[in-house]
């Protein structure tokens, strides 16, 4: 490495700042529009999911390996039987993001939208959750406009 020289003498070159990536990819499913999740994000999610074990979830190895039906079943179970928040929930939903993006699985997208709507009901002051849910759900297969989700008073 070359050392630049100034009028004051030799000085070490400044270290370039590291490129700013996302610190943790796990919450991306609930914080970003699906179109804003890059392939690098999906790769980081896949790595995080691959390095994770969920205790007392016998279906997790198959879900983690990319079986869409098992991944959807694990996610739906988490939505309905456990707290729909926290790191384990983010790992399960991150797995669905990987399956949706890499395999084009529509069921994974629908389950992600369902989870986001569930979170939106718990956090009514977060309108972004409902908007992101609609983006994950996408247009209906018939091409007709989507029926909006019912809102609770």
Residue 146's pLDDT band (cuts 50, 70, 90)? very low
Q: Give pTM, 2 decimals.
A: 0.76
Which whole number is the average pLDDT over 63-71? 97
Q: Where are the domains of the chain?
A: 25-137
Rg of the chain in Å (alpha carbons): 20
Which whole number is the average pLDDT over 23-43? 93
Are 116 and 132 in contact by the 8 Å Cβ rule? The answer is yes
Q: What is the mean pLDDT of the chain?
A: 83
Tell me the pLDDT tens digit for each residue of 85-141. 889 999 999 999 999 999 999 999 999 999 999 999 999 999 999 999 999 998 744
């Amino acid at each position: 490495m070359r050392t630049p020289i100034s009028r004051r003498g030799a000085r070490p070159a400044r270290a370039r700042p590291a490129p700013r990536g996302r610190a943790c990819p796990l919450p991306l499913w609930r914080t970003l529009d699906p179109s804003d999740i890059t392939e690098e994000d999906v790769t980081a999610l896949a790595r995080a999911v691959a390095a994770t074990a969920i205790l007392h979830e016998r279906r997790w190895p198959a879900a983690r390996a990319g079986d869409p039906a098992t991944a959807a079943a694990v996610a739906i179970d988490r939505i309905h039987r456990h707290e729909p928040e926290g790191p384990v929930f983010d790992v399960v939903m991150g797995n669905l993001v990987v399956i949706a993006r890499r395999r084009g699985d529509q069921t994974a997208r629908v389950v992600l939208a369902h989870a986001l709507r569930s979170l939106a009901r718990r956090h009514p002051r977060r309108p972004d959750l409902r908007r992101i849910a609609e983006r994950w759900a996408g247009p209906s297969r018939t091409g007709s406009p989507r029926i909006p989700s019912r809102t609770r008073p």
